[in-house]
């Protein structure tokens, strides 16, 4: 089922925001829509978007590849993106990430065995003075967590696991 068939109202609303000669500007909101349900963008959805906007699938894929909020493969339900740039590293982000990996039994870029959390390193989430910090991306959007430590983070992950088991 194409993106326009799956979300006809939303696609129409998104495309209506852009003049026909600039409809390629709708690529990012359409990608967000395509990713909303499953947490990643399929090759088919990329092709649908390319066709709708009259651009190449390579152009669509380059946007997916550039931005850390778009994903082209299925991973954890929650993507924990830890800022590891230099200012955050100076406030302990590297040690935080290393300890978090150890506690979760995974490496950066991997997903926990239960499929719940994928741990990613990203650059600049604009809270350097409150590092270690991360954002969690899910189908519900983004949530930011600042001034974190491993114990508080593991409590958060356990709460996510508990919520998943109750649903």
Domain residue extents for the chain: 3-66, 78-166
Q: What is the predicted pLDDT for the residue at 164?
A: 87
Q: Which residues are CB-contacts of 11 (< 8 A; sequence separation ≥ 6)?
A: 3, 4, 30, 33, 52
pLDDT, residue 165, reads 86
Q: Could you tell me the pTM of the whole model?
A: 0.75
Separation of alpha carbons 90 and 130, rounded Å:
11
Q: What pLDDT was estimated at residue 21?
A: 93
pLDDT along the chain (167 residues), means of 10: 89 94 95 87 94 95 90 90 94 96 96 95 91 91 94 96 87
CA max distance for the chain? 52
Query: What is the model's pLDDT at position 22?
Result: 94
**In whole angstroms, how far apart are CA 16 and each of 8, 46, 63, 117?**
12, 20, 21, 36
Fold of 78-166: Glutaredoxin (3.40.30)
Q: List 122's β-bridge partners, or say none.
A: 83
CATH 3.40.50.300 fits 3-66, yes or no: no
């Amino acid at each position: 089922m194409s993106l326009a068939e799956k979300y006809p109202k939303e696609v129409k609303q998104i495309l209506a925001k852009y003049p026909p000669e600039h409809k390629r500007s709708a690529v990012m909101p359409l990608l967000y829509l395509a990713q909303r349900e499953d947490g990643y963008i399929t090759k088919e959805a990329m092709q649908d978007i390319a066709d709708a906007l009259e651009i190449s699938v390579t152009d669509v894929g380059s946007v997916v590849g550039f931005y850390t909020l778009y994903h082209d493969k299925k991973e954890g339900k929650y993507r924990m993106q830890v800022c590891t740039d230099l200012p955050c590293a100076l406030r302990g982000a590297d040690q935080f990430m290393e300890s978090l990996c150890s506690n979760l039994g995974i490496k950066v870029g991997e997903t926990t065995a239960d499929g719940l959390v994928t741990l990613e390193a990203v650059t600049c989430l604009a809270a350097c003075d409150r590092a270690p910090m991360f954002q969690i991306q899910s189908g519900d959007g983004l949530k930011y967590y600042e001034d974190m430590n491993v114990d508080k983070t593991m409590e958060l992950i356990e709460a996510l696991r508990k919520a998943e088991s109750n649903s």
